[in-house]
Structure 1
């Protein structure tokens, strides 16, 4: 049975894990499922895991990839996981557009961008979490950011034409 350490970890880190999972899945219910699935998997051996956050990030990426392969389709929603409040600055619309376009990227590219820029991991930490080289992280991040720029610019052009 997990000890107080696991319960404390979940209390402190659950929201952070949920945000990362949302960016990986694009769906609030899928994000909750992803976090809970991964937490259940590590619960019995939590006390033996030296660094639980990197371990969980990698577990979430791997689990998401497994689900994607099994389903062969994505369940995505442009809504963020937290409550939408009126946003006079337009940041909500920008965030929704970014998340929607992020969801259109290939799994590996999305994972690199989420871990590198949302989680603010270094290139080496991202490479370790994904089990790839630093060069792969650099190239995937560069290509992913370039593709996001194109997608966001074309989305802006489409929205302005309406």
Structure 2
């Protein structure tokens, strides 16, 4: 059974990654923030009494379901209000910067030239674009496995599919990202 501190620490540890994952899916920062907050509240309300080791998988499943619910609501709104452009606008400006949340070792940053820093920024931006361009299920599997560091079984349970499907989605995502980044002259 998770204590309040364990639950709080868990939620703090996943908030940024969950937000970024949601932004990749919905392409709207405000909606992504709402989805993450709703997911966190549902986890705390309904599953706060579960053991701490079960929280990551439960949270990923709740986050996926809240994201799907958001898409369903958007689809319903578009169907009901197709004449009103207010309901179809999506904010593409995106003020979220991955580099604000990725920390390089201090000695690397101090010795890094402006040219290197600019190139690193460009590479991160291009990687983000390519991840966002992946098909939804591939992106979801890729982010859970490599961003959230979940194992295949946890990812399959969170996505509601077989372990083989997770492996296939991840493999296709890695190949697509690798090909797209190589085409841009980026080798990692």
The TM-score range, normalised by the shorter chain, is: 0.7 to 0.9
Question: Structure 1's 75 and 108: CA in aligned 2 closer, same or farther, altered over 3 A?
Answer: farther
Question: Structure 1's 93 and 123: CA in aligned 2 closer, same or farther, altered over 3 A?
Answer: same
- Aligned pairs for 1:1-150 (under 5 A) are 5-6=3-4, 8-26=6-24, 28-50=29-51, 51-71=54-74, 77=94, 79-80=96-97, 83=100, 88=117, 90-150=119-179
Work out the CA distance in 2 between the residues paired with 1:70 and 1:151: 32
Structure 1 residue 91: Cα displacement = 3.0
Which stretches of structure 1, 4 residues or more, deviate above 4 A after TM superposition?
72-76, 84-87
Equivalences, count: 154
- 127-136 or 81-90, which deviates more: 81-90
Give the greater-gyration-radius structure (CA): 2
TM-score (norm 1): 0.75
RMSD over aligned CA atoms reads: 3.1
Unmatched 5+ stretches in structure 1: 158-162
Work out the CA distance in 1 between the residues paired with 2:134 and 2:50: 31
Work out the CA distance in 2 between the residues paired with 1:149 and 1:46: 38
TM-score (norm 2): 0.66
Structure 1 residue 42: Cα displacement = 2.5
